[in-house]
């Protein structure tokens, strides 16, 4: 999306024509839906700036820009090499309280731009201009001040604004980027913030409330597909709770250097891992028990966690995966069933994918369950075919030389090539193998012949199809599949890739 000359744009009085002209000028994909008061406000802003300083009629602004994934919208942005100017447009019925709230929110989202940022709001009915002070208050401003700041901007950016808002700049995982998490250098979506606020608010009762009105232990859980930011939200909630109390996080996955770093530096959060006897930590005192990867819980682990909650008089907060795209027979149901059947359970659903691109998400869902509705291009997906394990090893080696990470359920080696665990982590490029034991059933779900009930139990009821689903969902940029000795699955995948 490119910036537009808002003075030229607002010389058009008809909204439908203005929308068409804006789309032509900005290069955005869709037409904007512009209300009459927005057009009038933008026109009055331009006219007032022009009277104050005629040079401003030649200035371009990014108009009605939404941050990718997060959905946060800004009315006007002008970006220089060392400063950024944000102007919001309001009608006359907006309170100062709401104006201040929006500008503070804008400051939260634009703080990663590494520039001095000026935040203004223009009220069209009154012609009033206010700005956000460094101390977080609304102060009256005038157009001479605004025009002076615009004139002082140098090397004004006029390329695609989305290049400045790359997802990697603001979407992180605490298990991949612990240092950025510790600095607070991350953002939450509106949905994440809403769920987190509700959970934290519910826990702010006297006497550290941990039982519901029926005497059941309070269990708060939020689920979502891989890539919806469950782990980041869980850790953000933990950070908020530790402003007053100690908490513990039980991580149902392998111990990693990143987790160890968090454990060392976060003095009011203690980390524990699946496999230890949780009752050995009963001498501690925690405000809340948080559990990551809750869908991997076993009955024995859940029983211990419930006992700890009674001992600590602490509520339980969990994140766990949703697997609606996977065949019901292949889903990791054990932990999910335990959580959602708890008498004191309250659940929330994360729906916005913030790590996984729309393209990759659509491909993975089509791969798991083929339907006629899946028809689009997948330029970030590549397919290879091999006839045996020897050929697979060659193809895998080549892809890993091309910076792909080979994902499996646990750390191991494949013909001498290292393989990484996908638990709660993310990778730029992911390669996985579909061997001859995968097939599509009569309902067009991807299934696996080899996973026995014994193997499911060893993997905490996690089937190979489920592992494929979660592994591919760890990719941020690209996916590669090696299909080994399985022409029928190759035919289906090629069908998916043909628009």
Per-residue pLDDT, 295: 85
Per-residue pLDDT, 429: 93
Neighbours of 441 (CB within 10 A): 11
Residue 97 has pLDDT above 80, yes or no: yes
**Could you give the domains of the chain?**
4-165 (no CATH), 178-350 (3.40.50.300), 358-497 (3.40.50)
Residue 490 has pLDDT above 80, yes or no: yes
**Per-residue model confidence as pLDDT tens digits over 378-420:** 999 999 999 999 999 999 999 999 999 998 755 444 444 444 4
Q: How confident is the model at residue 349 (pLDDT cuts 50, 70, 90)?
A: very high
**Per-residue model confidence as pLDDT tens digits over 255-288:** 778 888 888 889 899 988 866 777 777 677 888 9
Dist. CA 270–CA 286, nearest whole Å: 9
Per-residue pLDDT, 413: 46
Phi, psi of 64, deg, nearest 5: 55, 60
| Token pair belonging to 113 | 């731009």
What's the whole-number average pLDDT of the chain? 86
Across-strand partners of 407? 420
C-alpha angle 176/180/185, rounded to 5°?
130
Report the predicted TM-score, pTM, of the whole model to 2 decimal places.
Answer: 0.71
Per-residue pLDDT, 139: 96
Residue of higher predicted confidence among 409 and 138: 138
**Per-residue model confidence as pLDDT tens digits over 211-239:** 777 788 899 999 988 778 899 999 999 99
Residue 156 has pLDDT above 70, yes or no: yes
Residue 458 has pLDDT above 50, yes or no: no
Per-residue pLDDT, 13: 81
Q: How would you classify the pairing of strands 60-66 and 417-421?
A: unpaired
Mean pLDDT check: name the lowest of 185-194, 365-374, 391-400: 365-374
Question: Which parts of 278-436 fold into alpha helices (H)?
Answer: 299-312, 333-340, 358-368, 389-401
Highest mean pLDDT among 247-251, 328-332, 470-474 belongs to 247-251
CB 73 within 8 A of CB 66: yes
Residue 428 has pLDDT above 90, yes or no: no
Per-residue pLDDT, 392: 95
Per-residue pLDDT, 85: 97
């Amino acid at each position: 999306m490119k910036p537009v000359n808002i003075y030229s744009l607002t010389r058009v009085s008809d909204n439908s024509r203005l929308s068409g002209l804006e789309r032509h000028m900005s290069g955005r994909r869709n037409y904007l839906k512009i209300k009459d008061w927005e057009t009038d406000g933008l026109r009055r802003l331009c006219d007032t700036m022009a009277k104050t300083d005629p040079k401003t009629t030649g200035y371009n602004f990014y108009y009605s820009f939404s941050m990718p994934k997060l959905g946060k919208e800004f009315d006007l942005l002008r970006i220089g090499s060392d400063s950024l100017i944000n102007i919001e447009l309001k009608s006359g019925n907006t309170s100062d309280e709401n104006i201040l709230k929006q500008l503070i929110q804008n400051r939260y989202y634009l703080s990663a731009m590494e520039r001095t940022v000026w935040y203004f709001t223009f009220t069209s009915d009154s012609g009033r201009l206010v700005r956000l002070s460094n101390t977080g208050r609304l102060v009256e401003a005038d157009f001479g001040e605004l025009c002076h700041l615009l004139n002082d901007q140098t090397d004004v950016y006029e390329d695609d604004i989305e290049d400045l808002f790359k997802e990697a700049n603001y979407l992180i995982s605490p298990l991949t980027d612990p240092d950025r998490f510790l600095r607070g250098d991350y953002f939450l979506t509106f949905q994440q913030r809403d769920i987190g606020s509700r959970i934290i608010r519910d826990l702010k009762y006297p006497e550290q409330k941990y039982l519901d009105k029926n005497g059941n232990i309070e269990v708060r859980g939020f689920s979502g597909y891989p890539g919806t930011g469950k782990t980041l939200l869980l850790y953000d909630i933990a950070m908020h709770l530790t402003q007053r109390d100690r908490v513990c996080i039980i991580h149902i996955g392998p111990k990693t250097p990143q987790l160890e770093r968090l454990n060392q530096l976060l003095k009011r959060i203690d980390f524990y891992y699946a496999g230890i006897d949780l009752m050995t930590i009963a001498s501690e005192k925690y405000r809340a028990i948080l559990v990551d990867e809750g869908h991997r819980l076993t009955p024995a682990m859940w029983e211990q966690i419930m006992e700890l909650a009674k001992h600590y008089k602490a509520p339980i907060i969990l994140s766990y995966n949703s697997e609606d795209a996977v065949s019901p027979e292949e889903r990791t149901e054990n932990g999910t069933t335990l959580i959602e059947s708890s008498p004191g359970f309250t659940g929330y659903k994360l729906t916005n994918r913030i790590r996984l691109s729309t393209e990759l998400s659509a491909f993975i869902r089509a791969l798991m369950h083929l339907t006629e509705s899946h028809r689009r291009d997948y330029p970030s997906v590549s397919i290879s075919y091999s006839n045996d394990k020897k050929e697979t090893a060659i193809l895998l080696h080549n892809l890993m030389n091309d910076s792909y990470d080979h994902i499996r359920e646990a750390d191991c080696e494949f013909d001498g090539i290292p393989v990484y665990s996908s638990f709660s982590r993310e990778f730029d490029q992911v390669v996985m193998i579909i061997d001859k034991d995968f097939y599509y059933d009569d309902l067009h779900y991807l299934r696996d012949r080899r996973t026995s009930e014994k193997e499911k139990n060893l993997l905490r009821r996690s089937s190979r199809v489920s592992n494929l689903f979660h592994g591919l969902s760890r990719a941020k940029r690209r996916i590669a599949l090696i299909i080994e000795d399985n022409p029928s699955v190759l035919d289906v995948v090629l069908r998916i890739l043909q628009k």
